[in-house]
Amino acid sequence: MSQIKSSILDTIGNTPIVKINKLAPEGVELFVKLESFNPMGSVKDRLALGVIEAAERDGSLRPGQTIVEATSGNTGIGLAMVCAQKGYPLVVTMAESFSVERRKLMRFLGAKVVLTPATQKGSGMVAKARELAAAHGWFMSRQFENPANVEVHSRTTAREILRDFGSNGLDYWVTGFGTGGTLTGVARVLRSESPATKIVTAEPATAALMQSGQVQAFNTDGSAAESHPAFNPHPMQGWSPDFISDIAHQSMQNGYIDHMMSVAGPDAIAMAKELARKEGIFCGISGGATFAAAMEVAKTALKESTILAMLPDTGERYLSTPLFEDVAVEMTDEELALSESTPNVRFDVPAPSATPAKPTLVAALSAT
């Protein structure tokens, strides 16, 4: 069967599930779903395509209309790809605290990026997107409330998981939450078709909004009315904005979540590094956080349990974050010692002078 795709959009989804071989505790089967295999490197490519195509179908998005969205980066990158392919202008609002790689990627794909003050957190960038949409007549894709965000994960991500594990083969599914699209979209299908699967939701230890017991206030349109009082800054970009979205709240209301866990920022960073160095799996801090939660689940799970963790993105958009702060640019002392360990091909000292070549017979005759 031909593998030729009609556009880049046809490469979204069908991401691989990979077994963890060295880090998994003995007696359990631990797997990760690598959403970095999506074309723009994150799970949010699914959301981007899903919300735009749903809006095209129902007529709420007009041909050539500008799209605006508030994002920590991955949704904006996915939207920039989809908009480039489909011909929609895109304006993204993003808090200035998120990594510069993200804004550069979006601009490289043709989007405009409007930065909002870090002090205003996620709520500030959402408010700016809403204001821009109202002032200019733009289409706001509303990733935190749009039911198409949930639907695309029920239709694709959940089906891929059931295809690979069947209805009785997965004991635990572990995920973080940001918009809540992955959580709610997959969870509602697992509840229906794999009811024995325990659904574990992880959130930052410094921003355990769901576990706080404090109620999130909502506006009549489903948007969060205010910043959640339990929020504090954390390094897991894309995880847990300063509010519980309407979509994530649906999982709480419907009883989809069996266990909730907290992950500290340093543990998330450490686990992302372990995945890279022990398994060759490259993910971001959010992926490291989800995997850290999965490792805790694995420690207490029954023998022969099967656990799947979602790894939402690639590590390349974290180069300017604490994930890479101890990665050297210049040669380390150990690397310099390796360079100096051989006598000839060395770059720390001038190259030895070349020995003049002996004149050949032809050269000698030519000189006379």
What is the Cα–Cα distance from 1 to 95, expressed in whole angstroms? 45
What is the Cα–Cα distance from 19 to 84, expressed in whole angstroms? 35
What is the Cα–Cα distance from 30 to 158, expressed in whole angstroms? 18
Please state whether beta strands 172-175 and 90-95 pair in parallel, antiparallel, or not at all (unpaired). unpaired
Is residue 44 flagged as an active site residue? yes
Q: Which of 44, 141, 154, 251 is catalytic?
A: 44
Please say whether the beta carbons of 184 and 257 come within 8 A.
no
What is the Cα–Cα distance from 182 to 248, expressed in whole angstroms? 9
Nearest to 250 by CA among 312, 298, 188: 188
Q: What are phi and psi of 138, to 5 degrees?
A: -85, 160
H helices within 37-180, ranges in order?
A: 44-58, 74-86, 100-108, 121-136, 147-152, 158-165
What is the Cα–Cα distance from 246 to 218, expressed in whole angstroms? 8
189 three-state secondary structure: helix
Q: Distance from CA of residue 177 to its chain's centroid? A: 11
Q: Which of 123, 141, 194, 286 is catalytic?
A: 286
- DSSP letters for 162-184: HHHHTTTS-SEEEE--SSSHHHH
Q: Distance from CA of residue 149 to its chain's centroid? A: 15
Report CA dihedral (325, 326, 329, 333) to the nearest 10 degrees: 160
Catalytically active residues are 44, 286
